Structure 1
Amino acid sequence: MDLRQWFNVLDEDKSGEISTNELVDPLLTVGLCRSRQQVERLVSKIDVDGSGAIGFDEFVNIVCSEEGEDPNSANALVQLYRAVARALSANREFAERVGKQNLALAMDDSAKLAALGAVLMGGVTWLKSYGGPLDYEEVVYYSYWALMYLWFKFLLIWRFFRLWAVCDDVEPVENMERCMNNNFTVGGFWRAWHRSFNRWLVRYIYVPLGGNSIGPLRKAFNILVVFTFVGFWHDLKPELFAWGWLLSLFFMPEIVAERVSRIESVRAWMEKHPLAGRWIVSFLGACNIIMLKIANIVGYTTGLEGAAMLLPALQSWDGLLFVSGYLFEMTIGVQCMLFIRDARETRSGVGATKRI
């Protein structure tokens, strides 16, 4: 529950203010205060007009000060909630603009004083709740940086502890094998993200179900089982199950493309037209990246509403232009990834491919 919702619950008479009596039990319950006297002292410090009641901005100041937040950060939050609340009552379009501007100010202060992850993961929630509906560009932007934050956090955590394991003559697997931005297949992404967990899933779930030695339909079912378990393993949330099922669905085009690439005539054509083949691979890889982002938007950014927020991008010329430009950008990105792989293979002298 956010601060505005909490304040509304405490404001039983809907007067826009809450009294000391209404504050005592909640603050004692959540541990912000230890006695009624402490609550009264807090209210007396904040209640400058001596009315015995406080408004929303004063309530935020109490909560932030008792949780040890920096006053500057607290003031930024106060300004954010207060400006958006006023704007919402006046004009929705103005509310969206003011809410987003104040969010940017709050994030600028919070990034210096609070955890970066809280800013990134909470930014979408603030915008969605207080700044009006998100547009597709904001959804894509925040979802990317939220996922990038997760990757970087896990990279630091696992490599730190891997360092100590290596110092103790134990060489564990490298969990984050490749940068998140250097993947263009769903399978490759998961083999390089939390690699030890991927190996566990393959060994104890995927292989016992039949692995790769079965037909495509059974393989698709096995992938669905694996990602259902992965969603359950992360948390019992509907959006995480939806995330797992979307990833299972997005695996299917990759399985089809892999089987098509094994056809002798297709392989011969790709070898005869390497440049065209490379661009086809880049385009399909860009589509894979977009599908991965859609799944992560649902699972880790905006929840089940995320996909619906992207639909307007397909309903206007501006949206279609954005999608086309984004797809082209990702296609060029995959070209860079292929170049990196070629360079590594050429340098190692193993399985070197033709440079294009």
Structure 2
Amino acid sequence: MASRGDNGSRSGPISFLASVYDLDTLDTRFTTPSSVPYRAAADKREDDRVTGRRAEPSKWNTLEFYVYYLVFLVAVPYMFWIAYDVSRPSDPRYQKFKHLLSDGWIPGRKIDVSDAQYHTFRVNLPYMALLLLFHPLLRRVWNAVYPVPQETKPSKLNSPEVAEARLHQRASFDAAFALLYLVVLHGFSAAKILVILAINYKIATGLPRKYVPAVTWVFNICTLFANELCEGYKFRDTALLFTGRPALDLVTDTLGLVRLGEWLDSHGGLMGRWEILFNITVLRLISFNLDYYWSLDRRSSSPIEKKQLDPANLSERDRISIPASPQDYSFRNYLGYTIYAPLYLTGPIITFNDYISQQRYQPATLFPSRTLKYAIRFGLVLLAMELVLHYDYVGAISKSGPDWSSYTPAQISLLSYFNLHIIWLKLLLPWRFFRLWSLADGVDPPENMVRCVSDNYSTLSFWRGWHRSYYRWLLRYIYIPLGGSSFRTGFDAARTVLTYLVVFTFVALWHDIKLNLLIWGWLVVVFFLPEIAAGYMFPRRKWEGRPTAYRMLCCVGGVGNVLMMISANLVGFAVGLDGLENIVKGIFRDYSGLVFLVTACSALFVGIQVMFEIRQSELRRGIDLKC
């Protein structure tokens, strides 16, 4: 069956570019229901027709939207101009942040290198690109040395015997490459990671079943804190602990343990501080343990046989929910999964069950043409980030300790707004790069970013679409086990709010042990409540006869949501609580600030109307992303 993302009937550069930005190219999960196997998903499904009938008529060619287009033509260039204007060398504040700039590749322009996270990714991108090419090629060599037995009959290509051989072949390579990868990345610190992995594996397979969930959570949360507080367990500090000597007493170190520890610490590989990015591995450790724990309930029967499913053509929901075979929970498979090279550093996150299923059977969603288009899309996003950093130095300005009172309300707001876009892009780029590597290697993880940060009006939907694989992980391993959400009674509502608080407290601590991130997590929960309350106070069914009035009402609520989301993310990931306070004071310090706020809210209103119509267009195509 041809891929919907292949668009084989299209021709010409414009059509090809349109196919690059097709949702199916980004992730087939967006166009295929999770309960439907990809091969069984026809272009016109019954579910699509039902969804399509629910969509409203197109408004793109109405007078209302022609007015909106005019606003876009004026507002968007003006927004970029404001950020560019305060970034020019002629600006009197330029010298204060000039040291955070470096020579760029665009003639006559410097580039903002103030963000250490993106700068590290940017500098290492050529080497990672070589690794992206080397790793799949090395797997081909491995496959040639350890080939899967070939079946001559087409009907036997996905036989259980061939599937088991493919799993053995791929998992063995992943485990072997994982050990090499750890040593190259972390040097002798690889031993620390292997110890953590071994303890976690023993918790799942060695403890009595009833203790596994609680001990898993306690161990992994304690690991998050210990990694941070002990700064990666330096060998030197460990030696001092065992010898009982003070930190400066190196002359009398007759056993040489401290010197040995220092030598081991000096050979920490390419990433000596392994603990910084280990948080993502913790999620895989928990996934393995809980998937194994839940598999013990189904050892007596096979869901695949019971439901008469084709194991080579499972839906994504079945790949995640159906446990792997008992023998699949081996340490080799566990090591290959937790340290799977393409996804080890940043994700996206894939569950253990899904990983094993994709190792057995090549995902039907993988096509060379789709992977190529995904690579082109990554390149275009990278170009967008480079252009922003060459012309809008908003990151450098915010990190230079600016005097916000010297900026106009419009400048303060647009600097903050573009700062959020840089945060979005600097997260998007690594996620897409490593997902591209995984796709090239034959594993299809979820796409982490569904929409542009400027295409969100709902706090709930924003959370579903931002770091989507993490959101799905939280649903499976925390949110649903805690009971999900319900607002039918006061008790249910209180329990739901408590569930949200538990989830977002974990999210904040998982990101980093910092007060501003805890405040961010709690602010997100607080900002959920008005939207949830509005949904109950103004249900869609009561406005069926007044769709335009309901759309306008929702848009007003969307403007409030956007302002709250901007505030929460500025606190958590940009300027902190004090910085947000200074920004708000700058906007409200005089009458011009209020005028700008009204103008900005009007522009947001127009933008949200366009967001509504984008989603209606998707509904008319049978796509409901719920975000």
**1:296 Cα deviation after fit:** 1.4
Task: Decide whether aligned partners of structure 1 residues 333 and 212 sit closer, same or farther in structure 2, where only a CA change above 3 A counts.
Answer: same
SS of 2:524's equivalent in the other structure is helix
**1:141 Cα deviation after fit:** 2.1
1:298 pairs with one of 549, 565, 571: 571
Mapped contact 1:282–1:331 kept (Cα < 8 A): yes
CA distance in 1, matches of 2:466, 2:623: 24
1:137-162 CA-to-partner distances (Å, cap 9, x unmatched) read 44422222222112222222222222
Residue of structure 1 in register with 2:447 after alignment: 174
Mapped contact 1:143–1:300 kept (Cα < 8 A): no
**1:109 Cα deviation after fit:** 5.5
2:415 pairs with one of 133, 136, 142: 142
1:254-309 CA-to-partner distances (Å, cap 9, x unmatched) read 110122233xxx623x2111111111111111110000011112122221213322
Matched, 1:223 2:500: yes
Mapped contact 2:101–2:111 kept (Cα < 8 A): no
Residue of structure 2 in register with 1:324 after alignment: 598
1:125 pairs with one of 361, 376, 399: 399
1:152 pairs with one of 412, 425, 437: 425
CA distance in 2, matches of 1:307, 1:114: 22
SS of 2:450's equivalent in the other structure is coil
Task: Decide whether aligned partners of structure 1 residues 136 and 201 sit closer, same or farther in structure 2, where only a CA change above 3 A counts.
Answer: farther
Residue of structure 1 in register with 2:174 after alignment: none
Matched, 1:197 2:470: yes
Residue of structure 1 in register with 2:27 after alignment: none
CA distance in 2, matches of 1:308, 1:124: 14
2:516 pairs with one of 239, 249, 258: 239
Mapped contact 1:103–1:126 kept (Cα < 8 A): yes
SS of 1:180's equivalent in the other structure is coil
Residue of structure 2 in register with 1:308 after alignment: 581
Residue of structure 2 in register with 1:161 after alignment: 434
Mapped contact 1:184–1:285 kept (Cα < 8 A): yes
- Structure 2 length normalisation: TM-score? 0.37
What amino acid maps onto 2:599 in structure 1? Answer: G
CA distance in 1, matches of 2:431, 2:513: 24
What amino acid maps onto 1:195 in structure 2? Answer: R
**1:229 Cα deviation after fit:** 1.5
Task: Decide whether aligned partners of structure 1 residues 110 and 303 sit closer, same or farther in structure 2, where only a CA change above 3 A counts.
Answer: farther
What amino acid maps onto 2:608 in structure 1? Answer: V
**1:174 Cα deviation after fit:** 0.8
Task: Decide whether aligned partners of structure 1 residues 196 and 277 sit closer, same or farther in structure 2, where only a CA change above 3 A counts.
Answer: same
Residue of structure 2 in register with 1:280 after alignment: 553
CA distance in 2, matches of 1:134, 1:243: 26
Residue of structure 1 in register with 2:113 after alignment: 115
What amino acid maps onto 2:424 in structure 1? Answer: W
Residue of structure 1 in register with 2:525 after alignment: 248
What amino acid maps onto 2:534 in structure 1? Answer: A
CA distance in 2, matches of 1:133, 1:243: 27
Range with bigger deviation, 105-114 or 226-235: 105-114
CA distance in 1, matches of 2:435, 2:598: 41
Task: Decide whether aligned partners of structure 1 residues 171 and 211 sit closer, same or farther in structure 2, where only a CA change above 3 A counts.
Answer: same
Residue of structure 2 in register with 1:27 after alignment: none
SS of 1:255's equivalent in the other structure is helix
**1:117 Cα deviation after fit:** 3.6
**1:120 Cα deviation after fit:** 3.9
CA distance in 2, matches of 1:168, 1:303: 39
SS of 1:182's equivalent in the other structure is coil
Mapped contact 2:455–2:611 kept (Cα < 8 A): yes
Which is bigger in relative contact order (C-alpha 8 A, separation at least 6)? 2
- Extract unaligned runs of 5+ from structure 1: 1-79, 81-96, 352-356
What amino acid maps onto 1:339 in structure 2? Answer: E
CA distance in 2, matches of 1:125, 1:213: 42
CA distance in 2, matches of 1:190, 1:325: 27
Task: Decide whether aligned partners of structure 1 residues 154 and 322 sit closer, same or farther in structure 2, where only a CA change above 3 A counts.
Answer: same
Mapped contact 2:417–2:566 kept (Cα < 8 A): yes
CA distance in 2, matches of 1:317, 1:240: 33
1:58-80 CA-to-partner distances (Å, cap 9, x unmatched) read xxxxxxxxxxxxxxxxxxxxxx9
CA distance in 2, matches of 1:113, 1:179: 23
1:12-38 CA-to-partner distances (Å, cap 9, x unmatched) read xxxxxxxxxxxxxxxxxxxxxxxxxxx
- Structure 1 length normalisation: TM-score? 0.63
Task: Decide whether aligned partners of structure 1 residues 312 and 167 sit closer, same or farther in structure 2, where only a CA change above 3 A counts.
Answer: closer
CA distance in 1, matches of 2:424, 2:515: 22
1:51-96 CA-to-partner distances (Å, cap 9, x unmatched) read xxxxxxxxxxxxxxxxxxxxxxxxxxxxx9xxxxxxxxxxxxxxxx
Higher helix share: 1
Task: Decide whether aligned partners of structure 1 residues 275 and 165 sit closer, same or farther in structure 2, where only a CA change above 3 A counts.
Answer: same
Task: Decide whether aligned partners of structure 1 residues 110 and 187 sit closer, same or farther in structure 2, where only a CA change above 3 A counts.
Answer: farther
1:339 pairs with one of 606, 609, 613: 613
Mapped contact 1:176–1:193 kept (Cα < 8 A): yes
Identity of aligned residues (%): 37
Task: Decide whether aligned partners of structure 1 residues 110 and 333 sit closer, same or farther in structure 2, where only a CA change above 3 A counts.
Answer: farther
**1:338 Cα deviation after fit:** 0.7
**1:234 Cα deviation after fit:** 1.2
- Extract unaligned runs of 5+ from structure 2: 1-88, 105-109, 117-392
Task: Decide whether aligned partners of structure 1 residues 135 and 298 sit closer, same or farther in structure 2, where only a CA change above 3 A counts.
Answer: farther
CA distance in 1, matches of 2:468, 2:623: 23
Let me know the Cα RMSD of the aligned residues: 2.7
What amino acid maps onto 1:325 in structure 2? Answer: T
Range with bigger deviation, 131-140 or 196-205: 131-140
**1:168 Cα deviation after fit:** 2.6
CA distance in 2, matches of 1:312, 1:161: 40
1:298-349 CA-to-partner distances (Å, cap 9, x unmatched) read 1222212133220453454222222211111111110010111112222x14
Residue of structure 2 in register with 1:102 after alignment: 95
